[in-house]
Amino acid sequence: MQDHSPSEKTGDAKPHRSLFERLTALMAPEPESRTELLAILQDAHERKLIDADAMSMIEGVFQVSELSARDIMVTRAQMDVIDISKPIEEWLPMVLETAHSRFPAVDGERDNVVGILLAKDLLRYYAEESFDVRQTLRKAVFIPESKRLNVLLADFRSKHNHMAIVVDEYGGVAGLVTIEDVLEQIVGDIEDEYDFDEEEDNILAIPDGKDGPRWRVRALTEIAQFNDELGTALVNPNVETIGGFITDHLARVPRKDEEVEIDNLRFRVVRADARHIHMLLVEKLPSSEEAVES
């Protein structure tokens, strides 16, 4: 006679539960909605059972399932693209200036995306006499604006892609999304080589400004400190930080690479997510008198 395990004999074996299911089972009362679950987790955070970073990531995970590609994409107008119908010498300076690791490659117009160029592949341009940029392009991935970020992240991981081109309902290019953009919705801003080494360094001068002085500024820098260090006179009684100042001025959270000019200052959003600005590039513009003199 074939031997049976106790669970097979009784017929009441319970399916394996995930860690998330086991954790929620310990909560009382059992939450009946996502809102109630978040409230319980927030209460756990307030009682210091969950630290602030963990709580922020949990909220980010929930948010990713609610956002779509259109919510975080770099818009068509803000995309840095290379046009392979033009000589490399025409667009190579832009590649060096922006320092992205990947660029959508178009052939004549922005709606005609023919591939993705990895910046590292351009090293062959300096080593090969018969370099053909078309042969170096990687396949472009196209997604609809409505694609959920949690699904997109799973696709990025399974297919080993890092960039997707977002298209509208008519097939035109609407923007692009990178895997870093999605991950920042969960873990917050991902630091890079331009970040500050010290927490107190909210404003960092950039010595290579060609058209005038420039600074990298944390969005959390207080307006008073910004005015003191840059010699400006920005005022807004409704907000305290420079990031809040820009958001209030636009009446919305700006997108990455968006620019706005205020009082002879040009602000470019270096990094941002759907909720906050993180880093700004600030450039002083010549005053009207200086422009006339020049």
pTM: 0.56
**If you ran DSSP here, which 8-state letter would residue 64 be given?**
H
The half-sphere exposure of 171 on its side-chain side, counting CA atoms within 13 A, is: 1
Q: Nearest-CA neighbor of 77 among 282, 258, 270, 261?
A: 258
List pLDDT tens digits, range 164-208.
999 998 889 999 999 988 888 777 655 554 444 444 578 988 765
How many other C-beta atoms lie within 10 A of the C-beta of residue 197?
Answer: 6
Q: Given this model, what pLDDT does residue 118 score?
A: 94
* pLDDT tens, N- to C-terminus, the chain (294 residues): 455 544 444 444 545 666 666 655 554 556 667 777 777 777 877 888 887 777 777 777 777 788 899 888 888 888 899 999 999 999 998 888 887 899 999 999 999 999 999 999 998 888 888 889 999 999 999 999 999 999 999 999 999 999 999 999 888 999 999 998 888 877 765 555 444 444 457 898 876 545 668 898 989 899 999 999 999 999 999 999 999 999 999 988 888 778 999 988 999 988 776 667 888 999 998 765 554 454
Helices 52-64/149-159 angle, 10° precision: 90
**If you ran DSSP here, which 8-state letter would residue 241 be given?**
B
Strand partners, 205: 215
Q: What does the CA dihedral 235, 209, 196, 192 come to, rounded to 10 degrees? A: 120
Tokens encoding 212: 């005038």
Q: Give me the sheet containing 102-106, strands edge to edge.
A: 82-83, 102-106, 113-118
DSSP output for 209-266: -SSS-EEEEETTSBHHHHHHHHT-----TT-SBHHHHHHHHHTSPPPTT-EEEETTEE
Cis-peptide into 254, omega within 30 deg: no
Q: Nearest-CA neighbor of 110 among 143, 81, 136?
A: 81
b/e per residue 121-139 (b: at least 16 CB within 10 A): bbeeeeeeeeeebeebbee
Tokens encoding 106: 């178009």
The alpha carbon dihedral of 33, 34, 40, 46 has a sign of negative
Length of the chain: 294
